Structure 1
Amino acid sequence: MSTDHASRLARGDELDYRSVRTGMVFVLLFCLGFTVIGLCLVGGGDGLLRMLGVALLIFFGAVGIPVAVWRLVKPTIELKVSAQDGVWLRDRRATWLGWDEIAAVERDAVGSRPAVTLRLTEGGSHTLSPTIAASPAELYALLSEQQTIRARRG
């Protein structure tokens, strides 16, 4: 684990982990491709094909490209870690899981990709999203150390 992350948590800072940008690059390329198809249909099509071209231009060109560029510039926060509050997960209705709710932090795999799973005291578990722009080893070290510190205090 990076000592920078540990020291930031010790000072009371929150750590934000954003989603990776790779997927959004593919979405941008997809939107650009359909925008070009829309331009071709508007320029060379008749009637229904021209209307389809306009729809492609509006949906992929006017909406899709700006959204994809915005997501590339400012990716969404997928995970927050706080020494006081616990772990915030975007896909759990944006709520905090307190350290007392986390029974264990374990290494796991999603398909063939390494991942981190939080075992909850209520018996459930939550595997962290593979779209987080941080290595699973770094997240495992950070979360397991914080969970151990909280378990000693409690």
Structure 2
Amino acid sequence: MPKPNLPVPTSSFQVSNGGNQNREKKFGYLIYEVEPGFTVRLRKDIDPTMDPKKLKRIILNRVSAQRSRWKKRGYVEYLLKKKKELEMEVSVRRALLEMLNERTKCLNIKYRELEERTFATNQRLISAEAEAEGALAKLRELGDDIGSFDVTTLMNLLL
């Protein structure tokens, strides 16, 4: 049975067993670089006579787990970046909203001023029309008294 091509260990170091203080026994690890950027740790106490297929499967599973962790880390970084971008967009839009609210207030004030001016102008127009009607009525009365004057002729004389 041919042995699979397994990577050569690049280094080894000592690590305590899960940080457990009760057991002081330390395990040594062999670090394999399977691909550029992908390393796998295997304890030295793994039986070297182990089936090569099983050893290969262990290594491939660890590589897959490491890729998965990297992918997850990349996705989390992407989400954090996206969060910052969205927060910036929210702050810009809030500032824009505040500016638009202020502009709306100014426009509402101008609108009320224009309404008041329009109302005052309409009131002056109504008052002027009433005065004109009164003057016209007086002219008619005077015209009836005089008899010979035509109202339109009198109006032409006044203008």
Same fold by TM-score, threshold 0.5 exceeded? Answer: no
TM-score, normalised relative to structure 2: 0.22
TM-score, normalised relative to structure 1: 0.23
More strand, by proportion: 1
Q: Which has the higher contact order (CA 8 A, sep 6+)?
A: 1
